[in-house]
Amino acid sequence: MKEENYGAALSCNNRIAPEDRIPFGEKVIYGAADLFGGGQATMLSLLLLVFFTDIIGITAAYAGTIILVSKLWDAFSDPCCGIVSDNLRTKMGRRKPFMILGGLLIPPALAFLFAPIQNLGSEAAKIAFAAIAYVAYCTVSTVSQVPYMSMSSDISSDYRERNKANTIKLIFDMLAAAICYLVPSMVFDMLKNGTLSQTAFYFIIVFGFGALFAVPMVVAGFKIKERTPYPLEKSRFDFNGWFKSLRVKSFKYHILMYIGAFLSMDLISNLAIFYVGNVLRGVELFGREIGTVFIIAPMMVIAGISVPLYYFIMQKTTKQFAYRMGIPLYILGVVGLALYQTSWPSVLVIVAAALMGIGLGGAQMMPWIVFPDTVDVAELKLGYRPTGNFSGIMTFSRKVSTAVAIQLVGAGLSLAGYQSATAGEVIQQGPAVLLAIRIMLGVSVTLFLIMGFYASLKYKVNNKKLQRIRYFNEMNRADEELTEEEQEEKTALIRELA
């Protein structure tokens, strides 16, 4: 009890307790593990649909449906993994054994997913193989990602230390996104135009990106620590507990902020190759035809540069303000790309991408910075920390956003009459396809960004409230009674935030 009160007192005196401090090296190792989380979602958003359609030869609508239907498995596996990791008790902790196992399985899962099955036979056989491969890949992703994302809350009880660790994590996330936009898009362009063999493409994906994703995750599994206290009692798997989590007001708005940012990014990722290869066909910049690099590079560079700015804004204002401040520019940029005409100056493409990058920096950075704060709010209301549950829901939401984006793009292209092409083949798509790409880019992305902007206005957690929330949570863990005034304050916080 004395240790708990001492920790609370330090927190209230604006000092960080020694047991809450995270060494800088550990913060870097923890952040580097998000090369998988940030990179694999980007790479799949960029490549998977077009790989299924233009390399394997699956109809766009079926390819999108494969990815969407696999989310039914994720709806079960993600919360299950969250509960199992909450209940695991080992000398290494609760989360780290999963991170090590999942990390080791990443390269085999990529090998299965990107297997060259275009000569397998009928389209039905290809669809069945692709569906099984994607479910297997999603399972591996769940095993590593749900426990790893839980560590954003478990790595420290002090919100300031978590902010620093999760900011470093987001820097690696941005780096992974940049790498996994640029390199796969260039490699895929080489595959499409016949300058790279499919065997070489396969090895780059499996061994190159497999190592990039797997090694940091495994290292983090051995090196980082869980510092947040957890109960000795084990919880039972209960879907009602999952839905109970969604009744925490701040978490609902947090999820909407998260989906708004990442579904927008997934739509842009899915559409990038189709947009450049069809809408911008023939447009040149600096003496060469515009490729995805001309959009992705400025967007990701500006987003990365903006991270320190958003961290400063977060410190001076609130995380939700930092989340939404760049969204108007994000919308302006994406609408500019959607409306762009090939007769306009080609440099406007880079300008639009840069505007998107400014908004991307805050919108993608803040949801995971906010995550551990939301867990604190949930503990205030529920009396326990539903970290694994929340992480499972977040990971599931991320996968669903990717699947929905791919399904929307696949269905939209199919309805517009998109014609699949094999490697080395060039097909001139009709005007309806070009219009569909523009509408999906401009209208769909804007709507999801507006949703995230609205949710950030409703999210009311700030640093001052977090100080008091931690105090009340520590008092509850120590089974200490609150004064009448403190009980009233706690009730008011629950009413406002939870």
Question: Which tens digits make up the pLDDT trace of 195-236?
Answer: 889 899 999 999 999 999 999 999 999 999 998 877 666 655
Residue 257 CA from chain centroid, whole number? 12
Asked whether residue 254 carries a pLDDT value surpassing 90, the answer given is yes
Instruction: Quickly tell me which residue has 């035809």 as its tokens.
Output: 289
In a domain, 466, yes or no: no
Residue pair 214/39 in contact (Cβ under 8 Å)? The answer is: no
Mean pLDDT of all residues in the chain?
A: 86
Asked whether residue 327 carries a pLDDT value surpassing 90, the answer given is yes
pLDDT above 90 coverage of the chain, percent: 42
To the nearest 10 degrees (0 to 180), the angle between helices 24-32 and 34-51 is 10
In a domain, 497, yes or no: no
How far is residue 201's CA from residue 39's CA, in Å, rounded to a whole number? 17
Confidence band (pLDDT; 50, 70, 90) for 355?
A: very high
Confidence band (pLDDT; 50, 70, 90) for 443?
A: very high
Convert the pLDDT of each residue in 287-303 to its tens digit. Answer: 788 877 788 778 888 88
More confident site: 77 or 76:
77
In a domain, 380, yes or no: yes
Confidence band (pLDDT; 50, 70, 90) for 5?
A: very low
Residue 237: the pLDDT is: 53
How far is residue 467's CA from residue 447's CA, in Å, rounded to a whole number? 35
Residue pair 296/272 in contact (Cβ under 8 Å)? The answer is: yes
Convert the pLDDT of each residue in 169-200 to its tens digit. Answer: 888 988 888 888 788 888 887 887 788 898 99
How far is residue 145's CA from residue 149's CA, in Å, rounded to a whole number? 6
Convert the pLDDT of each residue in 469-497 to its tens digit. Answer: 999 999 998 889 999 999 999 999 999 99
Residue 324: the pLDDT is: 94
Say which residues have a Cβ less than 8 Å from residue 278's Cβ, sequence separation at least 6: 429, 433, 434, 437
CATH at 317: 1.20.1250.20
Residue 422: the pLDDT is: 53
In a domain, 496, yes or no: no
In a domain, 72, yes or no: yes
**Residue 247 exposure: Cα atoms within 13 Å on the Cβ side:** 9
In a domain, 469, yes or no: no
What's the total number of domains in the chain?
1
> Could you give the residue ranges of the DSSP H alpha helices within 317-346?
319-324, 327-339
Confidence band (pLDDT; 50, 70, 90) for 4?
A: very low
> Could you tell me which residues are beta bridge partners of residue 289?
284
Convert the pLDDT of each residue in 377-400 to its tens digit. Answer: 999 998 888 887 787 788 777 777
Neighbours of 348 (CB within 10 A): 15
Residue 7: the pLDDT is: 45
DSSP 193-250: TTSS-HHHHHHIIIIIIHHHHHHHHHHHHHH----S---SSPPPP-HHHHHHHTTSHH
Residue 11: the pLDDT is: 44
Domain span at residue 364 reads 22-225+239-461
How far is residue 496's CA from residue 492's CA, in Å, rounded to a whole number? 6
More confident site: 476 or 237:
476
Asked whether residue 304 carries a pLDDT value surpassing 60, the answer given is yes
Convert the pLDDT of each residue in 122-173 to its tens digit. Answer: 889 999 999 999 999 999 999 999 899 888 888 998 888 988 898 898 889 8
Q: Are strands 284-285 and 288-289 parallel, antiparallel or unpaired?
A: antiparallel
In a domain, 313, yes or no: yes
pTM for this entry: 0.75
Token pair recorded at residue 106: 């990443």
